[in-house]
Amino acid sequence: MRAYYMDEDPSDQRLPHDSGVAVPEEILDKLGVLRWYIPVDAEGKWESQVDVIADERSYRNRDIVFVTKEGMGDQFEANLKKFYHEHMHEDEEIRYIIEGGGYFDVRESPTDSWIRLHLGSGDMIVLPAGIYHRFGLDTNMRSRTMRLFKDEPKWIAHYRGEHTDTNPFRIDYLKNLQSNGVAVGA
């Protein structure tokens, strides 16, 4: 996984948009972004390593989503737009990339800058509840991803706006940032 600040170029979201400024791991830690690298192997050893993390974090359900034109059919373009629209969740978002790759963009506090995380096969990430983020595919336009859930599999996005700024999960996230020594914007 690579982490860097995004440039300000609004063109094709599949491009790297690398500003050339790397994001230190300490910043990701303060933002609550957890990450692991678990190589995908033919023997399936990766599954037991994912299971350990899932058990530690109380994840009981999972599914595998194929973010491809073939996997999503007519809903492919609509889903990509939905995933890339800035949002937050009231649960952690935990993903393990089995094949392909993509970008998770997260908002830094208090600057509100976009930090781009480029994930590929073997990368696992946990985004905390309440963090503003979005997802997009890279130029390979495919990702086979395991999604893990504490309860039944669901994906409920709360798109950024006045309502989400006052969402209790967003407020708790900002309080956690402050306890980690991160300044929080107004």
156-165 pLDDT tens trace: 999 999 999 9
Structural domain contains residue 64: yes
Domain count, the chain: 1
Residues in Cβ contact with 79 at an 8 Å cutoff, skipping those fewer than 6 apart? 67, 72
Residue 136 located in a structural domain: yes
Residue 150 lies in a domain: yes
Residue 59 located in a structural domain: yes
Which one is predicted more confidently, 98 or 153?
98
C-alpha 129/C-alpha 131 separation (Å) is: 6
pLDDT over threshold 70, residue 186: no
Domain that holds residue 30: 2-6+20-179
Q: What is the pLDDT of residues 59-84, one digit of tens each?
A: 999 999 999 999 899 999 998 999 99
- 29 is a domain residue: yes
28/181: higher pLDDT: 28
Q: Quick one: pLDDT band at residue 38, thresholds 50, 70, 90?
A: very high
Q: Does residue 152 sit in helix, strand or coil?
A: coil
Q: Which among 37, 10, 33, 6 has a CA at the least distance from the CA of 22?
A: 6
Strand 158-159 with 114-120, pairing = unpaired
Tokens of residue 145, six digits: 């991803």
**61 φ, ψ (degrees, to nearest 5):** -130, 155
Question: Region 87-91: what's the mean pLDDT?
Answer: 95
How far from 185 is each of 120, 171, 178, CA to CA, in Å?
A: 31, 12, 10
- What pTM did the predictor assign? 0.93
- Feature table: binding site for Ni(2+): 87, 89, 93, 133
Is residue 185 included in any domain, yes or no?
A: no
| Residues annotated within a binding site | 87, 89, 93, 133
* CATH assignment of the domain containing 85: 2.60.120.10
Mean pLDDT for 11-26 is 95
Instruction: Please state the rounded mean pLDDT for residues 141-154.
Output: 91
User: Using CA atoms, how far apart are residues 88 and 158, in angstroms rounded to an integer?
Assistant: 5
Return the residue matching tokens 């208090």: 110
pLDDT of residue 145: 96
What sign does the dihedral 80-84-90-94 (CA atoms) show? positive
Q: In whole numbers, what is the pLDDT of the chain averaged over residues?
A: 94
**Per-residue pLDDT at 9:** 92
Tell me the average pLDDT across 132-148. Answer: 96
In a domain, 30, yes or no: yes
Residue 15 lies in a domain: no
Binding site for Fe(2+): what residues are annotated? 87, 89, 93, 133
- 97-136, pLDDT tens digit by residue? 999 999 999 999 989 999 999 999 999 999 999 999 999 9
Distance separating alpha carbons of residues 143 and 119, to the nearest angstrom: 10
pLDDT at 152: 81
Confidence of residue 153 (pLDDT cuts 50, 70, 90): confident
